[in-house]
Amino acid sequence: MEAANKISAGYPWEHERRFNAFPDNFRKIHGTRMQKVSIDAGFTCPNRDGSKGTGGCTYCNNKAFNPSYCLPSKPVTLQIEEGIEFHKKRYRKTGSYLAYFQAYSNTFASVDTLAGLYYEALSHPEIKGLVIGTRPDCVNDEILDFLKDLSERCILLLEFGIESCYDKTLSRINRGHSFRDAVAALEASASRGLDTGAHFIFGLPGETRKEMLYEADIISGLPLKRVKFHQLQIIRGTRMEEEFNNNPADFEIFTWDDYLDFIIKFIERLNPAIVIERFTGEAPPRYLSREVWGKKRTDQIVGLIEKRMEELDTWQGRCFDPLPGGVRGG
């Protein structure tokens, strides 16, 4: 219990919250909070356009996550201006912004095309950096070298959709890449010093809760700085909805109490050095095939998770063992 006691005496992330929280980490590094302005720059994905497959991931409907000001028919600058106006109405204090290339796979193009889009965003006076969401199979040495150069001139957060550590799942949801591809992309990014994050989904078909929990140990050993977790949300009109309707027993659907219990166990096993950006996803209710948790906003959910961690007197990494394959009991 020595390591556990050391952590409880003062968390390694140096603030009082019980997990390594993104906003606090960002403020510590960059000195201020910044709002993300989403951009749909008209990209597609290799499992949509036929290069690797068609139809995209079985759960995907990008409209469910894209704010209304994001339309690929609008120039990047216009999307930024409308996005900033939208945020200024909601969060008056925010003074600086990051351009979030969010929709589809935002490195799935030549370096010249990427440079044109990213530089346009960075030329906006209120944009201080970029967040680039992409897939592990949409980067190569040339693109990563370009991103490394760019990261020396502005804030740059790279974000990979990985979704699952299991190839059986990745294949079932039509990702078109393997977990090995994901590890290779993370290693290539980390070796260039890029600030790299990843996204995972809990509740994908065919995965047991035990398998999902074990992902905490796998993720803990990956060369990444940030993670976002989502519960599976079944979106209307997707192939996943059809699959769920035909075979609901293949899905671990979490009630809110189940998820609270699960996510806390997960966080306890997660490497405390990894910054957590999200615990849940929040698609607009009109897109959801089924509503399971009632109305809970993301900030309320974070509050409930922290409250429960307080009650249990637990924290991120309490059961993490840095030795390979080790998980501290408890």
- Which residues are at the interface with ligand SF4 (CB under 6 A)? 45, 47-48, 56-57, 60, 62, 104-105, 135, 161
Relative orientation angle of helices 141-151 and 179-190, to the nearest 10 degrees = 40
Relative orientation angle of helices 209-220 and 256-269, to the nearest 10 degrees = 30
CB of 61 to ligand SF4, least distance (A): 8
Backbone phi and psi for residue 111, each to the nearest 5 degrees, phi listed first: -60, -35
CB of 171 to ligand SF4, least distance (A): 13
CB of 158 to ligand SF4, least distance (A): 15
DSSP three-state, residue 317: coil
Q: Which is nearer to ligand SF4, 55 or 193 (CB)?
A: 55
Q: Which two tokens stand for residue 229?
A: 């977790």
CB of 48 to ligand SF4, least distance (A): 5
CB of 44 to ligand SF4, least distance (A): 8
Q: Which is nearer to ligand SF4, 8 or 62 (CB)?
A: 62
Q: Which is nearer to ligand SF4, 8 or 44 (CB)?
A: 44
Question: What are the residues whose beta carbons fall under 8 Å from the beta carbon of 276, sequence distance 6 or more?
Answer: 19, 20, 21, 22, 226, 227, 228, 229, 267, 270, 316
On the 0-12 / 13-18 / 19+ scale of CB atoms within 10 A, 118 is buried
